[in-house]
Amino acid sequence: MTKKYNISVEATLEVIGGKWKPVILCHLMNGKKRTGELKRLIPKITQKMLTQQLRELEHDGIINRIVYNQVPPKVEYELSAYGNSLREILHSLCIWGEHHIERTYGDAKDYLEDSILNQ
């Protein structure tokens, strides 16, 4: 049976939807990251969930997993060329989120982590 969508945004959300995928992708927009770096940047995500989300994003061609042949093993993740096509969307989501924080709570600097503000 062929998959059908009611509206094309469903296909987008199927790939990048959920609580953690957009957050992971926004961090990867700033360059390659190792798993430990992502875990530090997203402290509320469990290691199991981070691994699962990274695998799904890799499976969908959104990120590249780079394995270095060395001891101890080193693995980095980066946006793929296909994943880079999401930059404008992700950037717009970040900007909208900042405006929403300011509209709802006040100064975004009081509600965003310093690591995010300094990127």
Map the chain to HEC letters.
CCCCCCCCHHHHHHHHCCCCHHHHHHHHCCCCEEHHHHHHHCCCCCHHHHHHHHHHHHHCCCEEEEEECCCCCEEEEEECHHHHCCHHHHHHHHHHHHHHHHHHCCCHHHCCCHHHHCC
Average pLDDT, the chain: 92
CATH code of 8-110, in short, is 1.10.10.10
pTM above 0.75, yes or no: yes
| pLDDT at 17 > cutoff 90 | yes
Express each pLDDT in 59-115 by its tens digit.
999 999 999 999 988 999 999 999 999 999 999 999 999 999 999 999 888 888 765
Q: What is the pLDDT of residue 108?
A: 85
